[in-house]
Amino acid sequence: MTAQATASTDAILHQPILGSRRFSNILWASVSAIGGVGFLLAGLSSYFHTNFLIVSDTSAIQFIPQGAALTFYGIAGTLLSAYLWFVISLNVGGGYNEFNKNTGMVTIFRHGFVGKNRVINFQYPLADVLSVRAEIKEGLNPRRVLYLRVKNKGDIPLNRVGEPIPLAELENQGAELARFLTIPLEGL
């Protein structure tokens, strides 16, 4: 959810949420695919005594113990890569927040994993929204999250999980949302 990506009109505030289709996830999926397939081919080359790798000579590798370890790590890396590409293709965590004064509703929509909870869609009346709360925790595991406090529902996170957003951006998003909904901003 970035300031440039937030589109607002007089009556509708629409905030897109970036899910698992981030550059870092695509980078790690690619790196683990290349590494996993490379290790797997090196391990299989040592077992079949045939060089399956073009970029390296694997004739000096014995299958027990080096080839077996390479095969194991190759399978693990390939499975990790397959999982990451699966999550990226589903765009897990992606969606939007929409605050609509015309209909008087707040919609929080996210994509999930395959199954009965694939689509997460919460809708609340604007009258039930009490405040916007910012949680800022610094340290080894920093956490910067905006929450929507809804009557009888608790706090609902509004921004993406994973990379903490810059403090200035968090303040701007919280202030913009509180101003739009004319509710208090807590935690700053």
pLDDT at position 12 is 92
Contact criterion met (CB below 8 Å) for 74 and 38: yes
* Averaged pLDDT of the chain: 90
The Cα–Cα gap between 97 and 23 comes to 22
Instruction: Specify the pLDDT at position 138.
Output: 84
Rg (CA), the chain: 23
- Residue-wise pLDDT for 51-95, tens only, equals 999 888 888 899 999 999 999 999 999 999 999 999 999 999 999
Q: Across residues 36-40, what is the average pLDDT? A: 96
- Could you read off the pLDDT of 104-133 as tens digits, one per residue? 999 999 999 998 889 999 999 999 999 999
Mean pLDDT of 18-25: 92
Identify whether the C-beta of residue 13 lies closer than 8 Å to the C-beta of residue 182: no
Distance between CA atoms of residues 161 and 18, nearest Å: 9
Which of 124, 126, 144 lies closest to 134 in space, CA to CA? 144
Bridging pattern class, strands 12-17 and 95-100: antiparallel
Mean pLDDT of 120-147: 90
The topology (CATH level 3) of 7-19+95-186 is PH-domain like (2.30.29)
Is the confidence at residue 178, as pLDDT, over 80? yes
- Domains of the chain: which residue ranges? 7-19+95-186, 25-90
Check pLDDT > 50 for residue 8: no
Position with higher pLDDT, 10 vs 1: 10
Amino acid 139: pLDDT:
83
